[in-house]
Amino acid sequence: MSPFLLTRTLPEDATDAALRADVLSGLTRHPKTLPPKWFYDARGSELFEEITRLPEYYPTRAEREILEERSEEIAAVSGARTVIELGSGSSEKTRHLLEALTGLESYVPVDVSESALTGAAESLLVDHPDLSVHALIADFTGGLALPGTPGPRLVAFLGGTIGNLLPEERAGFLHSVRSLLSPGDALLLGTDLVKDEETLVAAYDDAAGVTAAFNKNVLSVVNRELGADFPLDAFDHVAVWNPEQRWIEMRLRARRALNVKIRELDLVVPFEAGEEVRTEVSAKFRQEGVREELAAAGLRLAQWWTDAEGRFALSLATA
Ligand code: AVJ
């Protein structure tokens, strides 16, 4: 059996320092914000997996449909010997693709969640004992140091997670991906598509309240990691469609005026009744926009696939 390597590109206290910096800057500005990457502790990753099975949350199923339909095609076009998956989570959808790639030698899943990475690698290695898996605990928005693995390489960024980045962050991210690619390498990018508001809002405000629990989980993370005293029941989950920016915004709205103490930051954060913290944007795309953003980063849109209902797209881009 090939070795399973797990590398933390940042020391554990760097993660802690990043959380402190994000919480300090996000909660002392107006409007208040918290970055979505802090949703994903073990509980948050579990809740996200639960979201992907909700009737209202279509992106995972739509993307899986494309991967099931098109994996052979993607494999043939890319011929990859290494797949690098950014934000790999459970790696469940990627399986099809990995299995279609007949010359695959190496898989590099990159995620902020250690629990998701180890779980994914364990289950993958059961079926593919000869695959070399080198998992990276890393925040891929901050530039990546990748292990030296055989080319051609396919960098996969699935799930629509690029939509969590603001437009300027997306541009920076795509440039850094571009700089990782050698001739013959490719980027496989998943993007959720613009559609009617009702469908979009329902996907982020499900009837069972799982997304609400996922959203509030970021407060539990801050409570645990930074000794804060956010009362979770004093906040409501809010999901709104912003038609100008073409993104869904998730927010947490204070039900009443309150002061939150964050012990480790020596900070008291005042909330007015009704005040909101923006915890996530999830941008939705059209083909022309994707093409333009790729082109601006020096990438060429070579293939565009959608599910039968046209809800979600996979793009294959080359340098
Ligand atoms: C994992 C970033 C793709 O934006 O749809 C799901 C996260 N947030 N429900 C998304 C999420 C609320 C998800 N991504």
Q: What is the C-alpha to C-alpha distance for residues 317 and 181, in angstroms, rounded to an integer?
A: 10
Q: Is 63 touching ligand 1 by the criterion CB < 6 Å?
A: no
Is the pLDDT at 2 greater than 80, yes or no?
no
Q: What is the pLDDT of residue 123?
A: 87
Collapsing DSSP states into helix, strand and coil, what is residue 117? helix
Q: Whose CA is closest to atom 8 on ligand 1?
A: 204
State whether the beta carbon of 306 lies less than 6 angstroms from ligand 1: no
Q: Which pLDDT band holds residue 13 (cuts at 50, 70, 90)?
A: confident
pLDDT of residue 10 exceeding 70, the answer is no
Task: Provide the whole-model pTM.
Answer: 0.94
pLDDT score for 3: 66
- Record the tokens describing residue 151, joined without a space: 């080319």
The full DSSP string for 78-103 is H--SEEEEET-TT-TTHHHHHHH-TT
- In percent, the amount of the chain with pLDDT more than 90 equals 80
Task: Quote ipTM for the complex.
Answer: 0.99
Phi, psi of 39 (to 5 degrees): -65, -30
Rounded Cα distance, 201 and 114, in Å:
30
Could you report the per-residue pLDDT of 277-300, keeping only the tens digit for each?
999 999 999 999 999 999 999 999
What H or E segment, with its residue span, contains residue 6? strand 4-8
From 85, 282, 312, the mutation candidate for ligand 1 (largest count of ligand atoms within 8 A of CB) is 282
Each residue's pLDDT tens digit, 163-176: 999 999 999 999 99
Cα distance between residue 232 and residue 222, in whole Å: 11
Is residue 90 in contact with ligand 1, taking CB distance under 6 Å? no
Task: Find the mean pLDDT for residues 205-219.
Answer: 98
pLDDT tens digits along 92-142? 889 999 999 999 999 999 987 888 888 888 888 998 888 999 999 888 776
Specify the range with the lowest mean pLDDT, choosing from 87-91, 227-231, 298-302: 87-91
Higher-confidence residue of 208 and 141: namely 208
The amino acid sitting at 183 is P
pLDDT band at 1 (very low <50, low <70, confident <90, very high): low
